[in-house]
Amino acid sequence: MLRMKSFNDMNVSDPDRSSLDLLIAQEPDLWLQQRNFHADEGETVQAILMEAWHRWQSQALTFSSPLLRHRLKLLNSQGGLAAEWGLASSQTDIETVEAQVYSSKSKQTNIARLVLETADNDASVLPLLQSAAQTLSEMYDHTFDLMTVRLMMKRQQLSDKEARGRDDLFQAAKRLHDQNDVRSVLRVLLDDIEHMYPRADVNLYLSQDFVNGDKRVKPLQLRHSDDDLTADAFLSGKPVSAADGEGQMIWAIPMQGKQAVYGVLSLKLQREEWDEFELNSMVMLADTAGSAFENAKLFEQSNLLIGELQLINELTKRLNQSLRLNEVFEFAMTELLHIFKADYCNLLQLNADGSHFQIVSSNVPAAANETYSTTYGFSGVVYATREPLIISDYWSTRVVESKLMDVTRSRSLIATPVMAGTSVVGVIMVSHQSPNYFSYDNYKLLQLLSTHIGLAISNASLHAEVRRMVITDNLTGLHARHYLNEQIQSRQRKDRCGSLVLVDIDHFKRVNDTYGHLIGDSILVIVSDVIRSCIRDTDIAARWGGEELAVYLPQIRSEQAFRIAERIRGTVETQTNPPVTVSCGISEWSFEEDKISVESLFYRADMALYEAKKNGRNRICVG
């Protein structure tokens, strides 16, 4: 009987050991179903039988077994040649002796036959052959038991690995869903994968235009070539793999959420480091990352939307705090510079006749009050299309010529029309000296803000118009009397002196009775126009009542007021048809007076006017 060797003593050739190991690696689930291992399959029997044969052969050589002097054949249960020893004899009188090889592990009657060819008719050969068959059977059963243990250990290792994988997957999923920032989600995903596969080359290809400082995050390029795994995975939504010539596997796994595929996770690693379970785990991790990415993106967009709404609400509230057009323009320009962190901002308003734009607010000193045709530059483009525009690099594209862009050396631009109903009443231009500075979100936000700025401008314009109507006489276009009173009171608080001229049309009732009220009204309009032409822009002319008009002259003493009144009197006499004359009364005040009031100023001017009329009209008197 040959000595049994331990598993560690086995001296098995690499091909046979490889085939046995391959069976263990490939079918552990099949063999260990219900914790019962069956070795009746032909391939399994062949592998174990060859293992037992080589072990027996190794020991037979060690003890120089007499059987090895003959030709030996190992036949499988179907009679096929499994293995052999020695060379065929040239003698013709060859006897064949065989012994059955059984196994308690197999349901078959026998698993093999050990056949010996001999020419010397030695009777001792048969007992030796039977002993060898018995030893081979025991080695077969021993190998089977060892293989079962190995399979169980393999299965336990797989179970432990799957348990660790599930725990790692759970922890990774928890970390991913703990993030509400897109950058954090991507960083956690890539860090966890690199921790699981430290020798793998990991990259993430994103389909979105997303700026990230992580060099592992790259833009997804859809080249549609046959070997473009990332494009295939992105378009199909399923994992795609390929092997390179260096024994490495390349996996492209889509990262998708409920709404879309957001990118593709790429892993390059050694083939032996990867199995089916890990693929399923990685697909689940990529899907979890896709959901976390989607949630973070939605959270980010929600915060952005909330921020925009708060910004619009605050801007609208502050815009509506002032109803003066110049203050609205200045505040809008300042806020837009702050919101977009821009270098320059220009607000252009369409003039009354719609022929050109005028810059009403700008942080470019050279551009103050500049005018441009409605067909010139980017303001002309916005006016013609009634649509906002974004320019990434003015110097490289130069769609149109723009003096503002050239003067400020700006390269990036966002511009939008300011609308009043369906009409363009202005243009907002925000620029920066860096190329590609403004994002599409900036472009949309400016368009939204322009609506509220337009409403504020419309409100201020309407308020200015209503105020103008309230303080203006409809017939003459001069200010109303109450406005004149308010302005005199205001000027008396800060000026050193001032004069008031009352102008009365002589015999105006006779003009109305003779020529009619329409002619009388036209005379009033002509006299008002004469007064406006004879005074400064800072002077205030008003209709005091009926045919009486008044002019307040800030910082003017009575001597100079007399000359202005004389100029009015002489011009009226020569320019009216039918010709009329006017009488004027003048009064003045100065800060040296004990009592300064509007009433006293009007009283003295009225008394002077009375004197002028009493002394023959068409003359001027100073009170």
Strands (E), 409-536: 412-420, 423-432, 497-505
Which pLDDT band, with edges at 50, 70 and 90, does 155 fall under? confident
pLDDT at residue 613, rounded to an integer = 92
DSSP per position, 289-306: HHHHHHHHHHHHHHHHHH
Which tops the pLDDT comparison, 306 or 423?
Answer: 423
Q: Kindly report, residue by residue over 502-549, the tens digit of the pLDDT.
A: 999 999 999 999 999 999 999 999 999 999 999 998 999 999 888 899
Per-residue pLDDT reduced to its tens digit, 72-104? 999 988 888 888 988 776 666 778 888 998 888
Contact 473, 549 (CB under 8 A): no
In the structure encoding, which two tokens stand for residue 365, read together?
A: 């000193």
Mean pLDDT of all residues in 303-314: 75
Instruction: Give, rounded to a whole angstrom, the gap between the first and last alpha carbons of the chain.
Output: 154
At residue 9 the predicted structure's pLDDT band, cuts being 50, 70 and 90, is very low
Q: Quick one: tokens of 36?
A: 């019962």
Look at 230-239, 294-303, 354-363, 547-556 and tell me which has the smallest mean pLDDT: 294-303
Over the chain, what is the mean pLDDT?
83
> Bridge partners of 218?
205
Domains and CATH numbers, the chain: 31-86+94-154 (no CATH), 185-295 (3.30.450.40), 321-469 (3.30.450.40), 481-622 (3.30.70.270)
**Beta bridge pairs of residue 542:** 479, 550
Burial label for 399, CB within 10 Å (0-12, 13-18, 19+), is: exposed
Count Cβ atoms within 10 A of the Cβ of residue 157 and give its class: 0-12 exposed, 13-18 middle, 19 or more buried.
exposed
Q: What value does the mean pLDDT take over residues 23-29?
A: 51
The pLDDT of residue 458: 78
Tracing tokens 């118009």 back to the chain, one arrives at 465
The whole model's pTM is what?
Answer: 0.52
DSSP string, 241-272: EEE-TTSEEEEEEEEE-SS-EEEEEEEEEEGG
Short-list 331, 351, 415, 352, CA closest to 378: 415
Distance CA 88, CA 100 (A): 21
Per residue in 29-44, pLDDT (tens digit) is 444 443 344 445 567 7
Whose CA is closest to 502, among 432, 588, 574, 431?
588
Least confident of 350-364, 446-460, 490-504, 505-519: 446-460
Would you state the pLDDT for residue 326?
81
